[in-house]
Amino acid sequence: MRLRIATRGSALARWQAEHVASLLAARDPSVAVELVIVETAGDRRQDVPIWQMGGKGVFVKEVQAAVLDGRADAAVHSAKDLPSHQIDGLVLVAVPERGEVRDALVGSTLDALPAGARIGTGSARRRAQLADRRPDLTFGSLRGNIPTRLERASGYDAIVVAAVALERLGRTDAVAELLPTEVVLPQVGQGALAVECRTDDDHSRAMLARLQHEPSRRAVDGERAFLEQLVGDCDLPAGAYARVTDDREVEVEGLIASLDGRIVLRHRAAGPDPVTTGKEVAVHLLDHAGGREVLSI
């Protein structure tokens, strides 16, 4: 059996697609996976902040198009790059077991940074939360794949990247500090993979559904529901982290912030249904904690 997986061409994206291929092979050695490499708008325009390009969809639209037009049978994304709304004709068929969710500082720990230190990041979410903890910090834009960011790290006192990316590329030696979620709440879906296929492709759906890790899927569903309720993607200074508790409830913590970090709003709730809980957290922040005013600034 052959399965064509669409993916971006970066080393990290290929690792993710090959990881999904290895999971499939472990369940059925007869499955032969072919990678379909797709260049996205986010890959082509690395000089522009993501939020100025229209949000996280810039990393997935062309990959999704390859599945919709039949060039590929499935797509593998970083779940954090996937817009909160589902595209017609595609289904999020599986979320494999999630990896590390935290962000990492490269170059220095947070406490060791000198006053006025310059931090490299292209994320409004990271910038706002770090500014909340350290109002003295300054920031410079940093885009590109992980090797490129590490090469440019010497131009800053520290840079911020997803720890799971360093782990998957064998560069945990670069980590100066893993930032606790109490300090920097991660992006929705960070550390998780999202596997999509066509809604009407029953064969691929059945094959890929076996990769589902239910606790990871429930957590990601809760975070995506939170973001969808905000009606926004990564151009917003927003983050969320969900986990399945011992009693199988899903606890969702969400965050909305001003870009300068002067206002950071957090709320946490738990419940049996991840989607309902994620939306409740967003509604609380928007309607009861002043979130609408923050996002309008």
- Give me the active site residues, please: 81
**DSSP letters of the chain?**
-EEEEEE-SSHHHHHHHHHHHHHHHHH-TT-EEEEEE---HHHH-TTS-GGGGTSGGGGTHHHHHHHHTTS-SEEEEEGGGS-SSPPTTEEEEE--------EEEESS-TTTSPTT-EEE---HHHHHHHHHH-TT-EEE---S-HHHHHHHGGGSSEEEEEHHHHHHTT-GGGEEEEEPTTTSPPPTTTT-EEEEEETT-HHHHHHHHTT--HHHHHHHHHHHHHHHHHT--TTSSEEEEEEE-TTS-EEEEEEEE-TTSS-EEEEEEEES-HHHHHHHHHHHHHHTSSHHHHHH-
